[in-house]
Structure 1
Amino acid sequence: MLQFSANLSLLYNEYPLPQRFAAAKAGGFDAVEIQFPYSQSAAELRQLLDGNGLRLVLFNVDADTLLQGGEGLAAVPEKRQDFRRAVDQALRYAELLQPCAINVLPGRCLNADRLAEYRATFLENLDYAARAFAGQGIVTVFEAVNSFDMPGFILDSSAQMLQVLHDLNHPHLRLQYDIYHMSRMGEDCAEFLRCHIDRIGHIQFADCPGRAQPGSGSVDFPVLFQIIRDSAYSGWTGAEYRPGAATADSLAWLKSYAASGSGTV
């Protein structure tokens, strides 16, 4: 199944966050995702979703200063309690927002001598999160991020993600597969989707290089979207790109799939 969601942290950022919900609906989306929703109360977000006929399908556990160059929360041994508090916060939001999945960002290790310790801590914390979110029937996902945009990220390949799945073997744990990040690492996204889509809980995409809308780079989206549509995948495929101009002007790809009946928005 191919059903698209709009990532409101990157799309429509020409507007304040509360206005992005109406813009996404007007743009043709019925579902949205937010990287970190915690600047708004869960009640405010619920009202925005209901008022615009939208579903929130994904958000992240708080990751501290990861996006500002820090290490994040999920793998730092000294921040175990901070991570658990972040999981509790996500659970409170999930009670009202009812996402399909919650993403745990592995984070960085800025001291290579401690990488094994950080990875062990991440496994411990990811298992904790998966158990906590399973209590609400929510799938926990995690992702690899390319090492060019975010040096030191502790997972930067599909093989590493599969190893984590194998090591934890948790029934409510899936991959968040980001086509942009894995394309940036030179991986064959089409082959991975064909072989492992049953292990994926959420998909995100942007073209590569540049992380802009489909058609701006070298990713063969018609092939990838066809693989997703023809598979048994029932999750969402999130548009998480940086539009080259106004978001509304970047949606030719979406209009094409909606017009052809190839995708659901």
Structure 2
Amino acid sequence: MLRFTVNLSLLFTELPLSERFQAAKQHGFDAVEIQFPYSLPVEQIRDLLDQQDLQLVLFNVDADTLLQGGEGLAAVPEKRDQFKAAVGQTLAYAERLKPSVINVLPGRCLDPQRLGEYQTTLCENLAYAAAAFADLGIKTVFEAVNSYDMPGFIVDTSQKMLDALKQIQHPNLFMQYDIYHMSRMGEDYAGFLRQHLDKVGHIQFADCPGRGQPGTGDVDFDSLFDIIATSDYQGWVGAEYRPTADTAASLAWFKTYAVK
């Protein structure tokens, strides 16, 4: 089964965030995701979702300065308290918005000599988040990000995600599998999904190498979406790409695959 969401942080950016909900609905989506929703009050987001009859599937725990080149929150030993405060902020939003999954970005380690310490902190924080969101019936996911776009990222391969899951062993912790990032790392994403979809709580996609919409790169979306559609995967599939033109012109893929 294929259930698509559209990421409002990357698509429909021709509009202010508050207007992207209506645009998503007008183009046929019933669900959306947002990387970081905290620029809008939670009650405003709740109203926007209700007005358009949309479900908010996913958003992220705050990651501090990660997107500006910093290390983020989830793996930095000195930021444990800040990470827990960020989880508290996310819980407040999640109680009203009722997402299916919450994503934790592992972040970077910019001092290779401290990598082991960062990995330990990450596992502790992922376990903390998984327990916190379990109380709301919300899955916790974490994702690997390619080391070309984000050098120093703690988790940059599928195997590192599997290793973390094995170490933490929390029943509410899953992988967020991003086709773009793993394709950028040269991985066999199709083979991985065939073998490990039971450990995946959310899927995101963009074409590779340019991170544009399907059809702009090398990803075989016919095969990819067929694997998902014919599997037992019950989660959502999120469009998280950067449109090469305006968003509406990038949505030909949705007309093709939404009926699978």
Q: How far apart in 1 are the matches of 2:214 and 2:257?
A: 12
Which residue in the other structure is 2:51 paired with? 51
Q: How far apart in 1 are the matches of 2:184 and 2:172?
A: 28
Residues 63-83 of structure 1: per-residue CA shift (max 9 Å, x gap): 000000000000000000000
Provide the TM-score with structure 1 as the length reference. 0.97
Residues 95-121 of structure 1: per-residue CA shift (max 9 Å, x gap): 000000000000000011111100100
Which residue in the other structure is 2:200 paired with? 200
Q: Where does 1:200-239 land on structure 2 (aligned, <5 Å)?
A: 200-239=200-239
**Helix, strand or coil: the match of 2:204?**
strand
- Alignment-mate amino acid for residue 66 of structure 1: L
Give the Å deviation of 1:40.
0.5
Which residue in the other structure is 2:255 paired with? 255
Give the Å deviation of 1:85.
0.1
What are the ranges of 5 or more consecutive residues in structure 2 without an aligned counterpart?
none
Which residue in the other structure is 1:3 paired with? 3
Which residue in the other structure is 1:156 paired with? 156
Q: How far apart in 2 are the matches of 1:194 and 1:126?
A: 25
Q: How far apart in 1 are the matches of 2:119 and 2:29?
A: 37
- Alignment-mate amino acid for residue 257 of structure 2: Y
Residues 165-184 of structure 1: per-residue CA shift (max 9 Å, x gap): 11111111110000000000
Q: How far apart in 2 are the matches of 1:125 and 1:188?
A: 29
Alignment length, in residue pairs? 260
Q: How far apart in 2 are the matches of 1:104 and 1:55?
A: 20
Q: Does 1:100 align with 2:100?
A: yes
- Alignment-mate amino acid for residue 233 of structure 1: Y
Give the Å deviation of 1:256.
1.1
**Helix, strand or coil: the match of 1:155?**
coil
Which residue in the other structure is 2:111 paired with? 111
Q: Where does 1:113-132 land on structure 2 (aligned, <5 Å)?
A: 113-132=113-132
Which stretches of structure 1, 4 residues or more, deviate above 4 A after TM superposition?
none
Which residue in the other structure is 1:81 paired with? 81
Give the Å deviation of 1:3.
0.6
Give the Å deviation of 1:53.
1.0
Which residue in the other structure is 2:26 paired with? 26
Which residue in the other structure is 1:243 paired with? 243
- Alignment-mate amino acid for residue 110 of structure 1: L
Give the Å deviation of 1:140.
0.2
Give the Å deviation of 1:28.
1.1
Give the Å deviation of 1:234.
0.5
- Alignment-mate amino acid for residue 201 of structure 1: G
* Percent identical: 68
Q: How far apart in 2 are the matches of 1:115 and 1:24?
A: 40
RMSD: 0.5
Which residue in the other structure is 2:133 paired with? 133
Give the Å deviation of 1:27.
1.1
Provide the TM-score with structure 2 as the length reference. 0.99
What are the ranges of 5 or more consecutive residues in structure 1 without an aligned counterpart?
none
